[in-house]
Amino acid sequence: MSVLPITQATAATFSDLYIGLTLLVFVQAGTKRVVCPVRGELIGEEGDLIVFPPGSMVTLENRPVLNACYRADGVCFSHDMIDAVFADQRPGQGPLGIQILRAASHRPLDVLGLIKATLDDGTLAPPIRRHRLLEPLVWLRHHGIRLQTREEEQPLSQVRSLIETDLGHAWRVSDVARHFAMSEATLRRWLASSGNGFSRILHNTRLEKGLTLLQTTDRSISQIALDCGFKTPSHFSDAFRKRFGIVPRAIRSS
């Protein structure tokens, strides 16, 4: 678990992003617009906390402020940590959607400070560290946030998780079918139930990981392209522009 500083220099909209794990986004500067299939359009302002449940498929727009970058901190929680606090919240209670806690009424950045302090304290024994990292989840539940981890069972989530173990690998549908101990035909039918074919899942997983690396690291665009399984930086740039409407370098410079 870690806190990922997210920066973006140019306003851009990213459609149909898949979020596999529970993600907390603490907006530091600028605004984040989210289009959620369940709750419609939501706007996160400076100091707000946006909570993305696992398995979310959303459209995001990050909006920098004048003469400065959009900035946020992202924190992901594993399924087992979510289950430790939210295990009794069953899918039958209805779809969750994106949820927001506002800065003025909840002071989410105080919770972010607790997370950072816990992660930075090298003297903590692992059980104590885990207990303290569960406190923010208890805080979320206390303020009405609902979370579940049932999406981990979905085909899209499982296949993406496998691909992310080695994005540079030349994945073929036969590799994935073998991993899940099924025939290629069965795998294709399995994936069809999620509305996605294998090639599209592979392509989108690589591009979305590339977007994350552009926003959260200082790796060169050439290195990111190779790390995400693209043969050349130009191939990555062309695919990125086709998917997101901007070139990769625009994420880092206006």
Do residue 124 and residue 6 come from a single domain? Answer: yes
> Are 20 and 123 within one domain?
yes
Mean pLDDT on 175-196 = 85
Separation CA 196–CA 178 (nearest Å): 19
Question: Does residue 123 fall inside a structural domain?
Answer: yes
Range of the domain at 119: 2-143
Domain count across the chain: 2
Residues 103, 179 share a domain: no
> Do 159 and 116 share a structural domain?
no
Distances (CA, A) of 234 to 14, 38, 212, 225, 249: 20, 37, 18, 9, 12
Q: Which of 82, 113, 143 is the endpoint of a domain?
A: 143
Residues 124 and 104 both lie in one domain: yes
pLDDT of residue 145: 93
Residues 16 and 131 in one domain: yes
Would 93 be classed as within a structural domain?
yes
- Percent helix, strand, coil in the chain, to 5, is 45, 20, 30
Q: What is the pLDDT of residues 162-171, one digit of tens each?
A: 999 999 899 9
Mean pLDDT of 212-234: 95
In which band, very low, low, confident or very high, does the pLDDT at 194 lie, cut at 50, 70 and 90?
A: confident
| pLDDT for res 37 | 83
Q: What is the pLDDT of residue 94?
A: 61
Quick one: pLDDT at residue 93? 59
Query: From the CB of residue 59, how many other CB atoms can be counted at a distance below 10 Å?
Result: 15
Determine what percent of the chain is predicted with pLDDT higher than 90: 67
| Lowest model confidence (mean pLDDT) among 87-91, 183-187, 206-210 | 87-91
Q: Are residues 159 and 134 in the same domain?
A: no
The type of residue at 241 is: R
3-state SS class at 190: helix
Identify whether residues 161 and 123 lie together within a single domain. Answer: no
Alpha-carbon dihedral 139, 140, 143, 147, rounded to 10 degrees: -140
CATH code (residue 9)? 2.60.120.810
pLDDT at 163: 92
Of 119, 143, 167, the residue that ends a domain is 143
| 169: in domain | yes
21: tokens are 């794990």
